[in-house]
Amino acid sequence: MPAAIELTITHSPLAFIYEFFTPTVEINGTKQRLPWGTHTLEMPPGAYTVAISYPWLFAPECGKNTVRFELKQEETKRVAYRAGLIRFVPGKMHVS
Closest CA to 5 of 65, 83, 72: 72
The pLDDT tens digits for 9-33 are: 999 999 999 999 999 999 999 999 9
Q: How confident is the model at residue 1 (pLDDT cuts 50, 70, 90)?
A: low
What CA–CA distance (Å, rounded) separates 68 from 36?
21
Average pLDDT, the chain: 95
The pLDDT of residue 56:
87
The pLDDT of residue 88:
86
**CATH code, 37:** 2.60.40.1120
What CA–CA distance (Å, rounded) separates 94 from 33?
20
The pLDDT of residue 81:
98
Q: How confident is the model at residue 57 (pLDDT cuts 50, 70, 90)?
A: confident
**Average pLDDT value for residue range 36-62:** 95
Q: How many domains, in total, are found in the chain? A: 1
Closest CA to 43 of 1, 85, 95, 96: 1
Return the ∠ at Cα 83 (arms to 96 and 45), rounded to 5°: 35
- The domain in which residue 27 lies consists of 4-95
